Structure formats: structure tokens, C-alpha cells
Structure 1
Amino acid sequence: MTYPLVPAPPRPPDLAPRPMEYPQVLRGPRHRWWRPLLSLVILVAGTLLVMILGMVASMVAVALSGGDVEKWARSAADAAMTPGLFLATNLMLAALIPVSMLAVWIGHGVSSRWLRSVVGRFRWGWFARCLAVLTPLWLVYTGLGIAVDGAPEGGRPKEWLALLVIMLLTTPVQCAGEEFLFRGWVLTSLGSWFRHRWIALAVPMVVSCAGFSAAHGSKDVWVVADLSVFAITACLLTWRTGGLEAAIALHCVNNMLVMGISIALGGFDQGFIDGETTSSPLPVVTSIVVMSVAYALVEWQARRAGIQRRSTPQIPPPPMVPASPASPDSPASPTSPVAPGPV
């Protein structure tokens, strides 16, 4: 006896059957309580692998170019930002993009495209619009800083041209890598744990601030506060606009202008935050004002552009009824041929 082939049950959709904000975009039919934990394991393992491979590749490149590997290692430990170390650092941070996407794809069992935005893609037009409104603000911000504090000390670095080229080519993807991890993965993966929308935003935001500040190394309370202001603003922009574009634009504008000025005028090494960096209350207050204006500008543009901030519902397919073989003794169905009878 032959049996009819029963097709495999349809795969559940990625997204929930109702609109969800960005922090809960992964809380769909495939969500399970253990998935963020699996995603975290993949993220940590991938990040460590990137760091190890990046350092090994850098040392090999130094050795092949005839450089002194020990001298390079000492300069890296002393945070002397040579062109080679600058390039290696930016590329390792840029590698957080595929690491974060892989953690979502394997850990949560959904397409990693939802990490970009609630529409499943990177909205380049919206990204350009954010750059256009944030760049003038940062030009005024950095210009006033130079006018008040004066030009940075130390003069232009002797390898300024190489540093400038590396900055232009790799700093945008470095900024994107940090945002994919500290805003993208943290908000969506941890946010999927919580049913209430405000808890799904608040808890990951605290984790994002703590992780972003710790990654920079400084334990100074004012440096941590300044970094936390930036992290909170980036989280709120991501939540409000339903994607990473605005946060990446904010990060790019800040890093590109600050680094560009330090390369042109001096103080490039001092522009990087490490364990020895300290600050004071005034920069924190300034950051609060500037970040508030930045958020207001992006909010204004998001309303004008009608930016989608919630996912489009995906309806799960109806359950399949397994087919059963027909029995000779079973009554004929309405579609079965029947013998003619008396009328």
C-alpha cells in the first residue's frame, strides 16, 4: 500500500503577528527563554575569536613588513595610536557587525536582517538624512570647544596623512560595529526576554550603558557618565526610529569630526579613551545639552519623514492536518466517485 507524501509543516515567521517596537522585534513565534543565552554565548565566542585573530594578523603583518613585533606590542600596550594599530582596532570593531548578526541568526533562529531595523533593511536614505541634520550641530559643538579650550597640544602627528586615510575608510564601519553590538544586539536580544515594552527598553538600556562604558576602559566617574549620556541617546534614537541608522549616524559624526580635528590640529593619541583617561563635570553637562539637541533634531526629522518604528505583523501559517491513507471500508467522501444508483 502506498501512502501520500505529507509536506513538512511550514516554518514559523520571524516576527510576531502584531506590531513590535525595536527592542521586542525578536519576540516572535520562534522566541524561547533560552535563545538570548545561546545568542550571548555565540556573541562572546565570536568577539574573543575576532580579537585573537586580529592581534595575530597584526603581528604577522608587522613581521612581514620588517617591523619590530615587540616594539609594536609595547606601543599597543602604551596606547600609542600608530597607523597600524589604528587600522587594526577599527577593523576588529567593524567585525562586530557579522558577529552580532551571526549571534542573532543562530541564537534566535531568525534572519539577522531584523537587527538593522524593524523593516528588515538598512534605510540608507534615512541614514543620510540623519547625517545631514547632525553634522552642522557637531561642527558648532567642536568649533565652540576649540574656541574655549584652544587648539589641542602636541601638534599634528607626523603620519597624519596615513591616519586621515584610515579614518575616512574604516571609522564609519568601526562606529557601525559598536552600534550593532551595544545598541543592536543588546536591545533586541535582551529585550526579547520581556513582555512589557518599557521593561524591554529600560533593562537593555542599562546593560548597553554599562557595557559601552566598560569597553572604553576608564573607571573615572565623569568619563563613565559622559559615555553613558551617549549610550542612552543612541538607545533612545534606535528605539524611536526602529533601527540603527540614526545611532550609527550620531556615532559617525562624533568620531569623524573629533578624529579629523585631532589629526589636523594635534592631540590624536589623547582623543582615545583608555584606563588613564579622566574628565570633569563640565563635559558631562555639555554632552547632555548637545545629545538632547541631537535627539530633538532626529525626532523632528523622523516625524517629517514618517519613519516606521514598529514591525509589520507576520501572520503564522495555519496548522497542517496530516493526511491519512484511505481505507477500502471507509465511506466515500464527497469528492470520491460513487456508483450510479436508482433515481
Structure 2
Amino acid sequence: MTTRAAPWGQGSPDDHREDPRPRLLPYHRLGHADPEHRWWKPLVELLLFGAFYLVLAIVFGIVWAVGLMVSRGEEALDEIFLGPAELEIMDPAIFFMLFFSLVLMIPALLAARAIMGPRPAGLLLSVTGRLRWGFLGRCLLVALAVYAVGHAAAALVEYALLGPPAAPRPVEGFWWLIAMIVLVVPLQCAAEELVFRGYLLQTVGRWLRRPVFAILLPVPLFTFGHLYDTWGLLAVAVMAVVAGYLTWRTGGLEAAIALHVVNNVIATLFGALGLADPDAEESSWIALVISAAMQVLFAWLVVRAAGRRGVEVTRTVHPPRPPVLPVVGHVPGGHGPGGPAGTDHLPGGWICPGPPACPGRRAEPVPGPGTQRLP
């Protein structure tokens, strides 16, 4: 049920229920794939999502706290939360708590979507109703290549200006962190994309047709969820815009997930190696320019590759079939439940002999030898 036509190409309007033609829905308009779409459904979905997430977070917090006390002693919680002024993110226990708590947004949001629709719930992932693993893999390779080149160039400039960089100094619990960087961080990135580029884009798209609103309106929510200075917040905002554009332009979350995963994995890996301070809240305009350049280059390469490979960017949604009307009596040329034309039909029998009786008008009984009347 997909088409490779571009979302900005010709097609029937995507928000006219009475239009009998199939509609081509871009990603941000997939809420209209549900024939029972109502403007208030995303708000109820948000309430359900919040309730499910709160329950999961409480259960996870209890399990995490018990596990921490069993492994480190009964005073571990006091040492972590009452001791230092800030949490030590590179502490494996803190790292797991912070990142995995965000992963819980995935089951919470999918459960809310399964209740409220549209279905399948996989429409949160792409216009095909599923995660396109092959496309995701190609996007990951492109992002790795772009970030490798970008960081190598930044390292050469730093070497030329400041001399040799500091040697790696792995933090305590390094291998535990590596395991979580590989297993948990990608899920954390996917969870944030599912919420900020999935749910929010499609929610705005239910109310506003133009994609620019769906891309830009969620940006402040994502940006101010991070604690950075002005330059750092601008870098986060640029990433949010690029990820939103890619989601709309490629018809799914795969490119945005790949960009987010590579960005976060490299950042946390540098922190685990002691090459960067993961708690730092200050940035610079140079870091903003470098990160923005890598993200824009990634977007350009992915959009070109998606166009060459014919990646689906819209979903074809057919209008619901008109209801079949009950008729009583003989209908010329028709075949009812009781047999061919000319036979008796009981009241309430279903028949659709074609226009003008169907669709849109009730077929009237035709006088004849086969007509029965109710007493």
C-alpha cells in the first residue's frame, strides 16, 4: 500500500474524506490513514502514553534501586543522590538508569498507539508500517562515514592549533559502559526519535497540512530537554530540524535514528575513553559549525540515496467502501440472497445491483410477481 511518488508531487488531497480517489499521505499526515481519525485522538494518546510511561518508570526505578543496593550496599543510594552535587554520568549504574529510563518510552508509546490508532502501530516507524531495516543499515553506514571524516578533520585542526591531543584515559567500569553504549544507547536514540519525530510530527500533521509546521513545532520541546549553553542548544536545535526534515523527506524514522545513534554513540564513547567531559554544559560556535556541517552533509547524502533507490515516501490510502444497503423485493438484473432475479427476497436481504441503487441510494421494491409485502 505504498507509492514511490514524492510527498510534494501530484496527488489527490490527503484530507478530504468525501474524495473517492486514493490519497497519498506523507509521513506527517499518516494519522489520516485511520478512517476513524478525530482531532482529539492524539491528545488522548498523549495521556495514555504518559500514564504507561509513569508506571513503567516507577517499576524500573524500584528494580534499579534494589539491584544497586544489593550490588553496592544499602548506602549506595545515599552516596549517589546525596553525595556529589551532580550525578556522575560515567558511573555505569547512573549511565544505565539515565539511558534505559528513556528506552521505556518505546513500549509506552506503542501501547498508546495500539489503543488509539491509526493501525498498524508501525505507521509510527514509516509509511510502510514497519522499520525498513535495509534502509536503516545504509543510513548508519553513511552517518558513520560522515562523522568519521568530520571528527578526523576536527582532530587535525586541533592538532595544528593546540598540539597533540591528550591520550585516552578509560574511566572506571569502562567495559560495562561499552556494553551499554552498544546495547542501550541505540534504543535510547530510537525512543527519542519515536516520540519527537514520530508522535509529535504525526500529531501536528493531523491538524496542520504543511510539513514545515510538523518539522519545526516540536523542535523547542526537544531542544530544551537538554541542559546546555546557547551554542549547545543551537546544535541540538539544528539536529532536531535535520532529523525532522529527513523523517518527512524519506517517509520514516530510519535516517533520523541513524543520525541520532551515531551522534550519541560517538559522544558517549569519547566520554568513556576520557577524551570528553560528558557532564560539560558549555560549547562553542566552532562545535556548532562542525556538528551542523556533518548533519547537513549526512542529510544531503541520504536524500540522494533514497531518491536513487526509490525509497517509499508516501502511503496510498484508499477510501472506505460505501455501505451495502438492505433491500426488499425484486430488483431487475440482480442476484439476492434468495437466488437470481425474479425470485422472492425477504426483508433485510443484502444486495447491491449497481447504480443507481448502490452506492448512496436505497433500492426500492419493484412491483412484480416476486414481490412480498410485510403484513
- Distance verdict in 2 for CA 1:119–1:133, change over 3 Å: same
Instruction: Render the CA deviation track for 1:71-127: whole Å, top value 9, x for unaligned.
Output: 132468612021111112222111211222223222345321100100101100010
Partner of 1:5: none
Partner of 1:115: 124
Contact 1:36 1:108 in 2 (8 A): no
Compute the TM-score of the two structures, normalised by the length of structure 2: 0.75
Query: 2:296 matched to 1:292?
Result: yes
Query: 2:190 matched to 1:190?
Result: no
Contact 1:209 1:228 in 2 (8 A): yes
Structure 1: any 5+ residue segments left out of the alignment?
1-11, 327-331
Partner of 1:171: 185
Q: Following TM superposition, by how much is the alpha carbon of 1:26 offset from its aligned partner in structure 2, in angstroms?
A: 0.8
Partner of 2:58: 52
Provide the rounded CA distance (Å) in 2 between the counterparts of 1:34 and 1:21.
20
Query: 2:342 matched to 1:334?
Result: yes
Matches within 5 A, 1:133-152: 133-149=142-158, 151=165
Matches within 5 A, 1:270-281: 270-272=277-279, 277-281=281-285
Provide the rounded CA distance (Å) in 2 between the counterparts of 1:134 and 1:158.
29
Q: Following TM superposition, by how much is the alpha carbon of 1:271 offset from its aligned partner in structure 2, in angstroms?
A: 2.4
Contact 1:27 1:193 in 2 (8 A): no
Give the letter for the 2:70 counterpart. L
Size of the alignment, in residue pairs?
Answer: 311
- Distance verdict in 2 for CA 1:154–1:54, change over 3 Å: farther
Contact 1:19 1:311 in 2 (8 A): yes
Structure 2: any 5+ residue segments left out of the alignment?
1-16, 159-163, 331-339, 346-367, 371-375
The equivalent position to 2:286 in structure 1, one of 265, 282, 285, is 282
Matches within 5 A, 1:1-343: 17-28=22-33, 29-67=35-73, 68-74=76-82, 78-81=86-89, 82-149=91-158, 151=165, 155-194=169-208, 196=209, 198=210, 201-218=211-228, 220-267=229-276, 270-272=277-279, 277-322=281-326, 334-336=342-344
Give the % identical residues. Answer: 30
SS in 1 for 2:200: helix
Give the letter for the 1:335 counterpart. T
Compute the TM-score of the two structures, normalised by the length of structure 1: 0.82
- Distance verdict in 2 for CA 1:152–1:336, change over 3 Å: farther
Q: Which has the higher contact order (CA 8 A, sep 6+)?
A: 1
Q: Following TM superposition, by how much is the alpha carbon of 1:245 offset from its aligned partner in structure 2, in angstroms?
A: 0.7
Instruction: Render the CA deviation track for 1:125-153: whole Å, top value 9, x for unaligned.
Output: 01011112221110112223333446468
SS in 1 for 2:24: coil
Provide the rounded CA distance (Å) in 1 between the counterparts of 2:341 and 2:320.
30
SS in 2 for 1:63: helix
Instruction: Render the CA deviation track for 1:193-212: whole Å, top value 9, x for unaligned.
Output: 12x3x2xx223323321111
Provide the rounded CA distance (Å) in 1 between the counterparts of 2:107 and 2:219.
22
Provide the rounded CA distance (Å) in 2 between the counterparts of 1:302 and 1:98.
29
Provide the rounded CA distance (Å) in 1 between the counterparts of 2:84 and 2:128.
41
RMSD between aligned residues: 2.8
Provide the rounded CA distance (Å) in 2 between the counterparts of 1:154 and 1:132.
25
Contact 2:124 2:198 in 1 (8 A): yes
Provide the rounded CA distance (Å) in 1 between the counterparts of 2:124 and 2:344.
51
Contact 1:116 1:243 in 2 (8 A): yes
SS in 1 for 2:39: coil
- Distance verdict in 2 for CA 1:105–1:339, change over 3 Å: closer
SS in 2 for 1:216: coil
From the CA coordinates, give the structure whose radius of gyration is larger.
Answer: 2
Contact 1:19 1:310 in 2 (8 A): yes
SS in 2 for 1:312: strand
